Structure 1
Protein backbone atom coordinates (compact mmCIF):
# COMPACT_ATOMS: atom_id res chain seq x y z
CA UNK A 1 0.00 0.00 0.00
CA UNK A 2 1.34 3.43 -0.92
CA UNK A 3 1.83 5.84 1.98
CA UNK A 4 -0.50 8.87 2.05
CA UNK A 5 0.96 12.32 2.63
CA UNK A 6 -1.04 14.75 4.88
CA UNK A 7 -0.25 18.39 5.36
CA UNK A 8 -0.54 19.94 8.87
CA UNK A 9 -0.04 23.54 10.08
CA UNK A 10 2.33 23.88 13.04
CA UNK A 11 2.58 27.24 14.96
CA UNK A 12 5.65 27.93 17.07
CA UNK A 13 5.24 30.58 19.87
CA UNK A 14 8.11 32.69 21.33
CA UNK A 15 7.79 32.91 25.13
CA UNK A 16 10.27 35.84 25.57
CA UNK A 17 8.18 38.24 23.63
CA UNK A 18 5.00 39.86 24.66
CA UNK A 19 1.82 38.29 23.52
CA UNK A 20 1.04 40.97 20.98
CA UNK A 21 4.45 40.70 19.46
CA UNK A 22 4.35 37.08 19.65
CA UNK A 23 0.98 37.07 17.99
CA UNK A 24 2.21 39.38 15.26
CA UNK A 25 5.24 37.40 14.65
CA UNK A 26 3.56 34.12 14.41
CA UNK A 27 5.09 32.03 11.72
CA UNK A 28 3.32 29.38 10.02
CA UNK A 29 5.47 26.41 9.03
CA UNK A 30 4.20 23.68 6.86
CA UNK A 31 5.70 20.32 7.20
CA UNK A 32 4.98 17.09 5.57
CA UNK A 33 3.88 14.38 7.87
CA UNK A 34 3.69 10.88 6.47
CA UNK A 35 1.10 8.85 8.19
CA UNK A 36 0.99 5.11 7.61
CA UNK A 37 -2.47 3.77 7.46
CA UNK A 38 -3.24 0.65 9.33
CA UNK A 39 -3.06 -2.36 6.99
CA UNK A 40 -6.34 -3.57 8.33
CA UNK A 41 -8.03 -0.46 7.28
CA UNK A 42 -8.94 -0.83 3.64
CA UNK A 43 -11.23 1.06 1.42
CA UNK A 44 -14.62 -0.35 0.51
CA UNK A 45 -13.62 -0.51 -3.16
CA UNK A 46 -10.66 -2.75 -2.38
CA UNK A 47 -12.81 -5.12 -0.35
CA UNK A 48 -15.36 -5.31 -3.15
CA UNK A 49 -12.65 -6.08 -5.68
CA UNK A 50 -11.28 -8.91 -3.55
CA UNK A 51 -14.74 -10.33 -3.03
CA UNK A 52 -15.41 -10.17 -6.76
CA UNK A 53 -12.12 -11.94 -7.42
CA UNK A 54 -12.97 -14.73 -5.01
CA UNK A 55 -16.40 -15.12 -6.52
CA UNK A 56 -14.93 -15.32 -10.00
CA UNK A 57 -12.44 -17.94 -8.77
CA UNK A 58 -15.21 -20.03 -7.23
CA UNK A 59 -17.35 -19.71 -10.36
CA UNK A 60 -14.39 -20.82 -12.54
CA UNK A 61 -13.72 -23.77 -10.24
CA UNK A 62 -17.40 -24.72 -10.33
CA UNK A 63 -17.44 -24.49 -14.11
CA UNK A 64 -14.38 -26.73 -14.31
CA UNK A 65 -15.98 -29.31 -12.02
CA UNK A 66 -19.23 -29.25 -14.00
CA UNK A 67 -17.28 -29.61 -17.28
CA UNK A 68 -15.27 -32.52 -15.85
CA UNK A 69 -18.44 -34.23 -14.65
CA UNK A 70 -20.08 -33.75 -18.05
CA UNK A 71 -17.02 -35.18 -19.85
CA UNK A 72 -16.90 -38.11 -17.42
CA UNK A 73 -20.60 -38.77 -17.91
CA UNK A 74 -20.24 -38.63 -21.69
CA UNK A 75 -17.28 -41.02 -21.49
CA UNK A 76 -19.28 -43.50 -19.41
CA UNK A 77 -22.20 -43.26 -21.84
CA UNK A 78 -19.85 -43.78 -24.80
CA UNK A 79 -18.29 -46.86 -23.15
CA UNK A 80 -21.72 -48.31 -22.39
CA UNK A 81 -22.89 -47.70 -25.95
CA UNK A 82 -19.69 -49.26 -27.37
CA UNK A 83 -20.02 -52.34 -25.18
CA UNK A 84 -23.68 -52.71 -26.10
CA UNK A 85 -22.86 -52.44 -29.81
CA UNK A 86 -20.00 -54.91 -29.41
CA UNK A 87 -22.23 -57.38 -27.60
CA UNK A 88 -24.89 -56.96 -30.27
CA UNK A 89 -22.36 -57.68 -33.02
CA UNK A 90 -21.04 -60.72 -31.15
CA UNK A 91 -24.56 -62.03 -30.66
CA UNK A 92 -25.27 -61.60 -34.36
CA UNK A 93 -22.03 -63.36 -35.22
CA UNK A 94 -22.84 -66.24 -32.87
CA UNK A 95 -26.31 -66.54 -34.33
CA UNK A 96 -24.84 -66.69 -37.82
CA UNK A 97 -22.35 -69.37 -36.72
CA UNK A 98 -25.13 -71.34 -35.07
CA UNK A 99 -27.17 -71.21 -38.25
CA UNK A 100 -24.15 -72.37 -40.27
CA UNK A 101 -23.48 -75.21 -37.81
CA UNK A 102 -27.11 -76.27 -37.93
CA UNK A 103 -26.97 -76.31 -41.72
CA UNK A 104 -23.73 -78.32 -41.68
CA UNK A 105 -25.25 -80.72 -39.16
CA UNK A 106 -28.28 -81.27 -41.38
CA UNK A 107 -26.00 -81.82 -44.38
CA UNK A 108 -23.90 -84.34 -42.44
CA UNK A 109 -27.01 -86.18 -41.29
CA UNK A 110 -28.22 -86.39 -44.88
CA UNK A 111 -24.79 -87.58 -46.02
CA UNK A 112 -24.71 -90.23 -43.30
CA UNK A 113 -28.15 -91.44 -44.33
CA UNK A 114 -27.02 -91.60 -47.96
CA UNK A 115 -23.84 -93.45 -46.97
CA UNK A 116 -25.82 -95.90 -44.87
CA UNK A 117 -28.15 -96.57 -47.76
CA UNK A 118 -25.24 -96.99 -50.17
CA UNK A 119 -23.37 -99.04 -47.56
CA UNK A 120 -26.26 -101.42 -47.23
CA UNK A 121 -26.41 -101.79 -50.98
CA UNK A 122 -22.63 -102.28 -51.07
CA UNK A 123 -22.72 -104.86 -48.30
CA UNK A 124 -25.45 -106.75 -50.13
CA UNK A 125 -23.43 -106.57 -53.33
CA UNK A 126 -20.32 -107.82 -51.56
CA UNK A 127 -22.23 -110.61 -49.88
CA UNK A 128 -23.68 -111.64 -53.23
CA UNK A 129 -20.26 -111.44 -54.81
CA UNK A 130 -18.80 -113.60 -52.04
CA UNK A 131 -21.55 -116.16 -52.49
CA UNK A 132 -21.06 -116.25 -56.24
CA UNK A 133 -17.27 -116.35 -55.88
CA UNK A 134 -17.04 -119.11 -53.30
CA UNK A 135 -20.26 -120.90 -54.17
CA UNK A 136 -20.64 -120.82 -57.97
CA UNK A 137 -24.02 -121.61 -59.46
CA UNK A 138 -22.56 -124.23 -61.76
CA UNK A 139 -23.35 -127.62 -60.31
CA UNK A 140 -25.90 -126.48 -57.79
CA UNK A 141 -24.18 -123.97 -55.49
CA UNK A 142 -21.39 -126.05 -54.09
CA UNK A 143 -19.17 -123.85 -51.90
CA UNK A 144 -15.39 -124.02 -51.91
CA UNK A 145 -12.78 -122.61 -49.56
CA UNK A 146 -11.16 -120.47 -52.29
CA UNK A 147 -12.34 -118.65 -55.35
CA UNK A 148 -11.70 -120.16 -58.80
CA UNK A 149 -8.04 -119.67 -59.71
CA UNK A 150 -6.88 -119.48 -56.09
CA UNK A 151 -4.98 -122.27 -54.31
CA UNK A 152 -5.71 -123.33 -50.71
CA UNK A 153 -2.86 -123.72 -48.27
CA UNK A 154 -3.48 -123.91 -44.52
CA UNK A 155 -6.04 -121.20 -43.62
CA UNK A 156 -5.38 -118.99 -46.66
CA UNK A 157 -5.88 -118.83 -50.41
CA UNK A 158 -3.11 -117.75 -52.79
CA UNK A 159 -2.93 -116.63 -56.38
CA UNK A 160 0.27 -116.16 -58.35
CA UNK A 161 0.10 -113.35 -60.90
CA UNK A 162 2.63 -114.37 -63.52
CA UNK A 163 2.98 -112.20 -66.63
CA UNK A 164 5.44 -112.97 -69.38
CA UNK A 165 5.08 -109.49 -70.88
CA UNK A 166 7.20 -107.04 -68.87
CA UNK A 167 4.70 -104.22 -69.53
CA UNK A 168 2.11 -106.12 -67.47
CA UNK A 169 4.36 -106.35 -64.42
CA UNK A 170 3.90 -103.79 -61.64
CA UNK A 171 5.82 -101.91 -58.98
CA UNK A 172 5.38 -103.04 -55.37
CA UNK A 173 2.72 -100.42 -54.63
CA UNK A 174 0.83 -101.12 -57.87
CA UNK A 175 0.86 -104.87 -57.21
CA UNK A 176 -0.51 -104.34 -53.71
CA UNK A 177 -3.36 -102.18 -55.03
CA UNK A 178 -4.29 -104.88 -57.53
CA UNK A 179 -4.36 -107.44 -54.70
CA UNK A 180 -6.70 -105.18 -52.73
CA UNK A 181 -9.05 -105.03 -55.72
CA UNK A 182 -9.29 -108.80 -55.36
CA UNK A 183 -10.15 -108.42 -51.64
CA UNK A 184 -6.67 -109.61 -50.70
CA UNK A 185 -3.15 -108.28 -50.06
CA UNK A 186 0.43 -109.21 -50.92
CA UNK A 187 1.36 -112.49 -49.27
CA UNK A 188 2.56 -112.49 -45.64
CA UNK A 189 4.73 -115.54 -44.93
CA UNK A 190 5.19 -115.27 -41.18
CA UNK A 191 6.11 -118.92 -40.55
CA UNK A 192 8.49 -121.42 -42.09
CA UNK A 193 5.77 -123.58 -43.71
CA UNK A 194 4.21 -120.62 -45.50
CA UNK A 195 7.66 -119.35 -46.49
CA UNK A 196 8.36 -122.70 -48.12
CA UNK A 197 5.01 -122.65 -49.94
CA UNK A 198 5.69 -119.15 -51.30
CA UNK A 199 9.23 -120.15 -52.22
CA UNK A 200 8.07 -123.18 -54.20
CA UNK A 201 5.45 -121.16 -56.12
CA UNK A 202 7.89 -118.37 -57.04
CA UNK A 203 8.67 -119.75 -60.46
CA UNK A 204 12.21 -119.33 -61.66
CA UNK A 205 12.34 -117.96 -65.19
CA UNK A 206 15.17 -116.10 -66.94
CA UNK A 207 12.97 -113.16 -67.88
CA UNK A 208 11.40 -112.94 -64.39
CA UNK A 209 13.33 -111.20 -61.61
CA UNK A 210 10.99 -112.51 -58.93
CA UNK A 211 7.57 -112.12 -57.27
CA UNK A 212 6.60 -109.33 -54.93
CA UNK A 213 5.65 -110.39 -51.40
CA UNK A 214 4.17 -108.22 -48.64
CA UNK A 215 7.50 -107.19 -47.12
CA UNK A 216 8.86 -103.65 -47.24
CA UNK A 217 11.48 -101.53 -45.42
CA UNK A 218 9.85 -98.92 -43.17
CA UNK A 219 11.81 -96.78 -40.69
CA UNK A 220 14.88 -98.92 -41.19
CA UNK A 221 13.03 -102.20 -40.48
CA UNK A 222 11.49 -104.98 -42.53
CA UNK A 223 7.71 -104.86 -42.03
CA UNK A 224 4.87 -106.96 -43.37
CA UNK A 225 1.82 -105.34 -44.93
CA UNK A 226 -0.24 -106.33 -41.87
CA UNK A 227 1.99 -104.06 -39.74
CA UNK A 228 4.03 -106.78 -38.02
CA UNK A 229 7.83 -106.87 -37.99
CA UNK A 230 9.83 -109.57 -39.74
CA UNK A 231 10.44 -112.15 -37.00
CA UNK A 232 13.40 -113.95 -38.59
CA UNK A 233 15.78 -111.41 -40.11
CA UNK A 234 18.04 -114.19 -41.41
CA UNK A 235 15.56 -114.84 -44.22
CA UNK A 236 16.67 -111.64 -46.04
CA UNK A 237 19.61 -109.23 -46.09
CA UNK A 238 19.82 -106.04 -44.04
CA UNK A 239 17.05 -103.49 -44.68
CA UNK A 240 17.67 -100.61 -47.05
CA UNK A 241 15.28 -97.65 -47.32
CA UNK A 242 13.23 -97.72 -50.53
CA UNK A 243 13.57 -101.50 -50.90
CA UNK A 244 10.93 -104.22 -50.99
CA UNK A 245 11.19 -108.01 -51.01
CA UNK A 246 10.81 -110.45 -53.90
CA UNK A 247 10.78 -114.26 -53.81
CA UNK A 248 12.62 -116.63 -56.19
CA UNK A 249 12.98 -120.40 -56.11
CA UNK A 250 16.73 -120.36 -56.65
CA UNK A 251 17.55 -117.32 -54.49
CA UNK A 252 14.91 -117.23 -51.78
CA UNK A 253 14.00 -113.68 -50.65
CA UNK A 254 15.86 -110.78 -52.13
CA UNK A 255 15.85 -107.02 -51.46
CA UNK A 256 15.27 -104.85 -54.55
CA UNK A 257 14.04 -101.33 -55.24
CA UNK A 258 10.29 -100.97 -54.79
CA UNK A 259 9.89 -99.19 -58.13
CA UNK A 260 11.13 -102.20 -60.07
CA UNK A 261 8.48 -104.00 -62.13
CA UNK A 262 7.79 -107.60 -61.17
CA UNK A 263 5.08 -110.25 -60.90
CA UNK A 264 3.43 -110.78 -57.48
CA UNK A 265 1.56 -113.16 -55.17
CA UNK A 266 -1.70 -112.27 -53.40
CA UNK A 267 -3.15 -113.86 -50.26
CA UNK A 268 -6.63 -113.86 -48.68
CA UNK A 269 -8.34 -115.77 -45.91
CA UNK A 270 -10.08 -118.95 -46.98
CA UNK A 271 -13.78 -119.58 -46.48
CA UNK A 272 -14.73 -122.07 -43.79
CA UNK A 273 -17.07 -124.66 -45.32
Structure 2
Protein backbone atom coordinates (compact mmCIF):
# COMPACT_ATOMS: atom_id res chain seq x y z
CA UNK A 1 0.00 0.00 0.00
CA UNK A 2 1.09 3.60 -0.59
CA UNK A 3 -0.28 6.95 0.50
CA UNK A 4 -3.79 7.52 1.87
CA UNK A 5 -6.30 4.72 2.33
CA UNK A 6 -7.72 5.12 -1.16
CA UNK A 7 -4.29 4.64 -2.72
CA UNK A 8 -2.62 1.26 -3.13
CA UNK A 9 -0.17 -0.50 -5.41
CA UNK A 10 0.95 -4.10 -5.92
CA UNK A 11 3.98 -5.13 -7.96
CA UNK A 12 5.13 -8.30 -9.73
CA UNK A 13 8.37 -8.96 -11.59
CA UNK A 14 9.85 -11.95 -13.32
CA UNK A 15 13.02 -13.47 -11.95
CA UNK A 16 14.10 -14.72 -15.35
CA UNK A 17 13.16 -12.14 -17.99
CA UNK A 18 12.66 -8.36 -18.35
CA UNK A 19 8.96 -8.47 -17.55
CA UNK A 20 7.17 -6.58 -14.76
CA UNK A 21 3.59 -5.66 -13.87
CA UNK A 22 1.93 -3.20 -11.50
CA UNK A 23 -1.70 -2.82 -10.40
CA UNK A 24 -2.44 0.46 -8.64
CA UNK A 25 -5.06 2.98 -7.64
CA UNK A 26 -4.07 6.60 -7.06
CA UNK A 27 -5.92 9.68 -5.94
CA UNK A 28 -3.28 12.24 -4.97
CA UNK A 29 -0.09 10.58 -6.18
CA UNK A 30 1.63 12.49 -8.99
CA UNK A 31 4.26 10.78 -11.10
CA UNK A 32 7.35 12.89 -11.64
CA UNK A 33 8.77 13.04 -15.17
CA UNK A 34 10.50 9.72 -15.84
CA UNK A 35 11.02 7.07 -18.49
CA UNK A 36 11.54 3.32 -18.75
CA UNK A 37 14.05 1.18 -20.60
CA UNK A 38 11.17 -1.07 -21.64
CA UNK A 39 8.04 -0.86 -23.71
CA UNK A 40 5.30 -0.07 -21.19
CA UNK A 41 1.61 -0.74 -21.76
CA UNK A 42 -1.06 0.41 -19.32
CA UNK A 43 -4.82 -0.15 -19.15
CA UNK A 44 -6.95 2.36 -17.26
CA UNK A 45 -9.71 0.46 -15.47
CA UNK A 46 -11.52 3.18 -13.50
CA UNK A 47 -11.41 6.95 -13.58
CA UNK A 48 -8.96 8.77 -15.81
CA UNK A 49 -5.36 9.87 -15.70
CA UNK A 50 -3.72 12.72 -17.52
CA UNK A 51 -0.07 13.00 -18.46
CA UNK A 52 2.38 14.76 -20.73
CA UNK A 53 4.50 12.86 -23.23
CA UNK A 54 6.43 14.00 -26.30
CA UNK A 55 5.57 17.62 -25.65
CA UNK A 56 1.78 17.23 -25.50
CA UNK A 57 -0.93 16.48 -22.96
CA UNK A 58 -2.96 13.25 -23.05
CA UNK A 59 -5.78 11.63 -21.07
CA UNK A 60 -6.43 7.92 -20.68
CA UNK A 61 -9.99 7.16 -19.56
CA UNK A 62 -11.43 3.82 -18.50
CA UNK A 63 -10.89 1.14 -21.16
CA UNK A 64 -8.09 2.99 -22.94
CA UNK A 65 -4.52 1.76 -23.42
CA UNK A 66 -1.36 3.75 -22.81
CA UNK A 67 1.64 2.76 -24.96
CA UNK A 68 5.09 4.09 -24.15
CA UNK A 69 8.16 3.44 -26.28
CA UNK A 70 11.48 2.94 -24.50
CA UNK A 71 12.76 6.26 -23.09
CA UNK A 72 9.46 8.09 -23.64
CA UNK A 73 9.53 10.76 -20.95
CA UNK A 74 6.18 11.14 -19.18
CA UNK A 75 4.53 12.12 -15.91
CA UNK A 76 0.98 11.49 -14.71
CA UNK A 77 -1.76 12.16 -12.20
CA UNK A 78 -5.50 11.75 -11.70
CA UNK A 79 -7.63 13.70 -14.16
CA UNK A 80 -10.31 14.41 -11.52
CA UNK A 81 -11.04 13.99 -7.83
CA UNK A 82 -12.21 10.37 -8.21
CA UNK A 83 -8.66 9.24 -8.99
CA UNK A 84 -7.84 6.32 -11.26
CA UNK A 85 -7.06 2.60 -11.18
CA UNK A 86 -4.84 1.00 -13.78
CA UNK A 87 -2.69 -1.97 -14.72
CA UNK A 88 0.66 -1.61 -16.47
CA UNK A 89 3.08 -4.14 -17.94
CA UNK A 90 6.74 -3.36 -18.68
CA UNK A 91 8.22 -5.55 -21.42
CA UNK A 92 11.92 -5.57 -22.31
CA UNK A 93 12.68 -4.89 -25.98
CA UNK A 94 14.44 -8.25 -26.37
CA UNK A 95 11.11 -10.00 -25.76
CA UNK A 96 9.63 -8.14 -28.74
CA UNK A 97 12.54 -8.55 -31.15
CA UNK A 98 11.19 -11.33 -33.38
CA UNK A 99 7.63 -10.01 -33.52
CA UNK A 100 8.68 -6.42 -34.23
CA UNK A 101 11.04 -7.49 -37.00
CA UNK A 102 8.42 -9.78 -38.57
CA UNK A 103 5.45 -7.41 -38.39
CA UNK A 104 6.92 -3.93 -38.74
CA UNK A 105 10.38 -4.44 -40.26
CA UNK A 106 11.81 -2.29 -37.43
CA UNK A 107 14.26 -3.18 -34.72
CA UNK A 108 13.24 -3.61 -31.10
CA UNK A 109 13.97 -0.48 -29.13
CA UNK A 110 12.99 1.86 -31.96
CA UNK A 111 9.76 3.85 -31.52
CA UNK A 112 6.63 1.93 -32.41
CA UNK A 113 3.71 4.06 -31.30
CA UNK A 114 2.80 7.39 -32.83
CA UNK A 115 0.41 8.27 -29.99
CA UNK A 116 0.69 7.25 -26.35
CA UNK A 117 -3.07 6.65 -25.92
CA UNK A 118 -4.95 3.98 -27.88
CA UNK A 119 -8.71 3.49 -27.73
CA UNK A 120 -8.97 -0.25 -28.41
CA UNK A 121 -11.22 -2.43 -26.20
CA UNK A 122 -9.82 -5.61 -27.77
CA UNK A 123 -6.23 -4.61 -27.03
CA UNK A 124 -7.20 -3.54 -23.50
CA UNK A 125 -8.74 -6.98 -22.92
CA UNK A 126 -5.57 -8.75 -24.09
CA UNK A 127 -3.38 -6.66 -21.82
CA UNK A 128 -5.73 -7.21 -18.88
CA UNK A 129 -5.56 -11.00 -19.41
CA UNK A 130 -1.77 -10.87 -19.61
CA UNK A 131 -1.49 -8.75 -16.47
CA UNK A 132 -3.87 -11.00 -14.53
CA UNK A 133 -1.96 -14.11 -15.58
CA UNK A 134 1.36 -12.61 -14.53
CA UNK A 135 0.21 -11.34 -11.16
CA UNK A 136 -1.72 -14.52 -10.28
CA UNK A 137 1.08 -16.97 -10.90
CA UNK A 138 0.26 -18.43 -14.33
CA UNK A 139 2.58 -21.20 -15.47
CA UNK A 140 5.44 -20.41 -17.86
CA UNK A 141 3.67 -21.80 -20.93
CA UNK A 142 0.44 -19.86 -20.38
CA UNK A 143 2.42 -16.72 -19.53
CA UNK A 144 4.53 -16.96 -22.67
CA UNK A 145 1.49 -17.58 -24.89
CA UNK A 146 -0.41 -14.61 -23.49
CA UNK A 147 2.71 -12.45 -23.79
CA UNK A 148 3.15 -13.46 -27.43
CA UNK A 149 -0.48 -12.75 -28.38
CA UNK A 150 -0.48 -9.38 -26.63
CA UNK A 151 2.82 -8.31 -28.19
CA UNK A 152 1.67 -9.46 -31.63
CA UNK A 153 -1.55 -7.45 -31.33
CA UNK A 154 0.37 -4.38 -30.18
CA UNK A 155 2.93 -4.49 -32.97
CA UNK A 156 0.32 -5.13 -35.64
CA UNK A 157 -1.56 -2.08 -34.43
CA UNK A 158 1.67 -0.07 -34.55
CA UNK A 159 2.38 -1.29 -38.08
CA UNK A 160 -1.01 0.00 -39.24
CA UNK A 161 -0.25 3.41 -37.72
CA UNK A 162 3.28 4.44 -38.76
CA UNK A 163 5.28 5.83 -35.85
CA UNK A 164 5.92 9.55 -35.84
CA UNK A 165 9.67 10.03 -36.32
CA UNK A 166 11.44 11.52 -33.31
CA UNK A 167 12.13 15.24 -33.43
CA UNK A 168 15.58 15.81 -34.86
CA UNK A 169 18.06 18.19 -33.28
CA UNK A 170 18.29 21.47 -35.11
CA UNK A 171 21.88 20.91 -36.24
CA UNK A 172 24.46 18.10 -36.20
CA UNK A 173 26.46 20.22 -33.77
CA UNK A 174 23.60 20.14 -31.26
CA UNK A 175 23.32 16.36 -31.62
CA UNK A 176 27.06 15.93 -31.11
CA UNK A 177 27.10 18.18 -28.06
CA UNK A 178 24.17 16.33 -26.49
CA UNK A 179 25.69 12.92 -27.20
CA UNK A 180 29.03 13.92 -25.70
CA UNK A 181 27.28 15.21 -22.59
CA UNK A 182 25.23 12.02 -22.36
CA UNK A 183 28.33 9.85 -22.50
CA UNK A 184 29.93 11.61 -19.53
CA UNK A 185 26.73 11.24 -17.51
CA UNK A 186 26.53 7.53 -18.39
CA UNK A 187 30.12 6.95 -17.36
CA UNK A 188 29.73 8.77 -14.03
CA UNK A 189 26.01 8.63 -13.23
CA UNK A 190 26.62 7.70 -9.56
CA UNK A 191 29.14 10.52 -9.05
CA UNK A 192 28.50 14.21 -8.39
CA UNK A 193 28.68 16.05 -11.73
CA UNK A 194 28.48 19.82 -11.99
CA UNK A 195 27.34 21.98 -14.88
CA UNK A 196 30.89 23.34 -15.02
CA UNK A 197 32.24 19.80 -15.43
CA UNK A 198 29.88 19.17 -18.36
CA UNK A 199 30.91 22.45 -19.94
CA UNK A 200 34.60 21.66 -19.53
CA UNK A 201 34.15 18.15 -20.95
CA UNK A 202 32.26 19.35 -24.02
CA UNK A 203 34.06 22.65 -24.56
CA UNK A 204 30.73 24.49 -24.68
CA UNK A 205 28.98 26.90 -22.35
CA UNK A 206 26.76 25.66 -19.55
CA UNK A 207 23.73 27.14 -21.29
CA UNK A 208 24.60 25.51 -24.63
CA UNK A 209 25.02 22.12 -22.94
CA UNK A 210 21.68 22.39 -21.15
CA UNK A 211 19.80 23.55 -24.26
CA UNK A 212 21.29 20.89 -26.53
CA UNK A 213 20.65 18.09 -24.05
CA UNK A 214 17.07 19.13 -23.31
CA UNK A 215 16.31 19.53 -27.01
CA UNK A 216 17.71 16.11 -27.88
CA UNK A 217 16.64 13.91 -24.97
CA UNK A 218 13.65 15.71 -23.47
CA UNK A 219 15.20 15.92 -20.00
CA UNK A 220 17.63 18.24 -18.29
CA UNK A 221 21.06 16.66 -17.65
CA UNK A 222 20.30 16.38 -13.92
CA UNK A 223 16.98 14.64 -14.62
CA UNK A 224 18.68 12.22 -16.99
CA UNK A 225 21.34 11.42 -14.41
CA UNK A 226 18.59 10.69 -11.89
CA UNK A 227 16.91 8.33 -14.37
CA UNK A 228 20.15 6.38 -14.72
CA UNK A 229 20.46 6.19 -10.94
CA UNK A 230 16.87 4.96 -10.61
CA UNK A 231 17.41 2.31 -13.26
CA UNK A 232 20.55 1.15 -11.49
CA UNK A 233 18.57 1.03 -8.24
CA UNK A 234 15.91 -1.17 -9.86
CA UNK A 235 18.55 -3.64 -11.01
CA UNK A 236 20.18 -3.81 -7.58
CA UNK A 237 16.85 -4.12 -5.77
CA UNK A 238 15.79 -6.93 -8.09
CA UNK A 239 18.91 -8.81 -6.99
CA UNK A 240 17.74 -8.51 -3.39
CA UNK A 241 20.06 -5.78 -2.13
CA UNK A 242 18.65 -3.69 0.75
CA UNK A 243 17.55 -0.15 -0.01
CA UNK A 244 20.23 1.52 2.13
CA UNK A 245 23.01 -0.21 0.22
CA UNK A 246 21.32 0.45 -3.11
CA UNK A 247 21.03 4.16 -2.35
CA UNK A 248 24.78 4.45 -1.76
CA UNK A 249 25.77 2.38 -4.80
CA UNK A 250 23.38 4.13 -7.19
CA UNK A 251 24.46 7.64 -6.19
CA UNK A 252 21.62 8.82 -3.95
CA UNK A 253 22.36 10.89 -0.85
CA UNK A 254 20.73 8.35 1.46
CA UNK A 255 17.87 5.85 1.63
CA UNK A 256 15.27 8.59 2.14
CA UNK A 257 16.49 10.34 -1.01
CA UNK A 258 16.20 7.10 -3.00
CA UNK A 259 12.77 6.32 -1.57
CA UNK A 260 11.41 9.77 -2.38
CA UNK A 261 12.43 9.68 -6.04
CA UNK A 262 11.69 5.98 -6.56
CA UNK A 263 8.15 6.43 -5.28
CA UNK A 264 7.58 9.62 -7.26
CA UNK A 265 8.75 7.93 -10.46
CA UNK A 266 7.39 4.38 -10.12
CA UNK A 267 4.51 4.54 -7.66
CA UNK A 268 5.99 1.99 -5.21
CA UNK A 269 8.77 2.20 -2.62
CA UNK A 270 12.17 0.56 -3.17
CA UNK A 271 11.31 -2.06 -0.53
CA UNK A 272 7.99 -2.87 -2.22
CA UNK A 273 9.84 -3.34 -5.48
CA UNK A 274 12.54 -5.53 -3.90
CA UNK A 275 9.94 -7.74 -2.22
CA UNK A 276 7.69 -7.98 -5.29
CA UNK A 277 6.63 -11.54 -5.96
CA UNK A 278 8.76 -13.00 -8.72
CA UNK A 279 8.28 -16.32 -10.53
**If you compute each CA radius of gyration, which structure gives the higher value, 1 or 2?**
1
- Larger RCO (alpha carbons 8 Å, 6+ apart): 2
TM-score of the two chains, using structure 1 as the length reference = 0.20
